[in-house]
Amino acid sequence: MSITEDLAERLMEELNCETVFTIPVFGGIPIAESVVVSWIIMAVLTILSICLVRNLKVENPGKKQLALEVAIGGIYKFFDDLVGEEGRRYIPYLISVAIYIGVANLIGLIGFKPPTKDLNVTVSLAVMSIVLVEVAGIRAKGTKGWLKSFAKPVAIIAPLNVMELVIRPLSLCMRLFGNVLASYIIMELIDAVCPIVIPLAFSAYFDIFDGFIQAYVFVFLTSLFINEAIEDDD
């Protein structure tokens, strides 16, 4: 078998999302591997969050609490600059998505298949984010104002603005899925050419640094979309 055929076979195996088990209702609901891994991620993050917020004090806070407050304050300041005061209510969602994507991209380091290699996961994240963006626009402008915004700056481009409802989630999900897929392909090619030392250095970039970069880009773009949706057009 040639290197190309072997790579193609391993790629298809990596992208194939196997069914872990089936819930015996409604004719059987298959639960994919990406869903189970996502549940594991959410369970671990929930337990970690509970541990971090236990025994918080108003007076004489400990070092752990001070470090946590500084970190959360810095994150909120970062998003405040992107979404503004009116969009502050959406920051918890943005933080949650960023943490999930970051952990999902890194979980392959401990033997799990990253959920972000499943196109269904990236599509779901993108659709949730765009729904939030449009809901934010409706809450800020009202239904009538939101509908009028599609005809700005001039009515002739209204069809293009409507198309953005599809283009935006498509660009978000394909950017995330495409980068994860490209990272895997590049690492496999490097491993096939030089399987000893070089892959370790590139793995540090593609598996760790790039994983966080993709999380950052996803929430950064979502923040910009939210700010655009809630800003006053008058």
Other C-beta atoms within 10 Å of 211: how many?
25
Q: What ranges in the chain are assigned the alpha helix state H?
A: 3-15, 33-53, 63-83, 91-106, 119-148, 158-193, 198-203, 210-230
Report, as an integer, the average pLDDT of 184-201: 68
N-to-C CA span, the chain: 64
pTM of the entire predicted model: 0.84
Mean pLDDT of 176-180: 81
Please state, in angstroms and rounded to a whole number, the distance separating the CA atoms of residues 31 and 16. Answer: 14
**pLDDT digit string (tens) for 122-167?**
989 999 998 999 999 898 888 888 888 887 777 787 888 788 878 8
Q: Around 59, how many Cα atoms within 13 Å sit in the side-chain half-sphere?
A: 0
Total number of residues shown for the chain: 234
The string of pLDDT tens digits covering residues 16-74 is 777 777 888 877 888 888 889 999 999 999 998 888 888 777 777 778 788 888 888 88
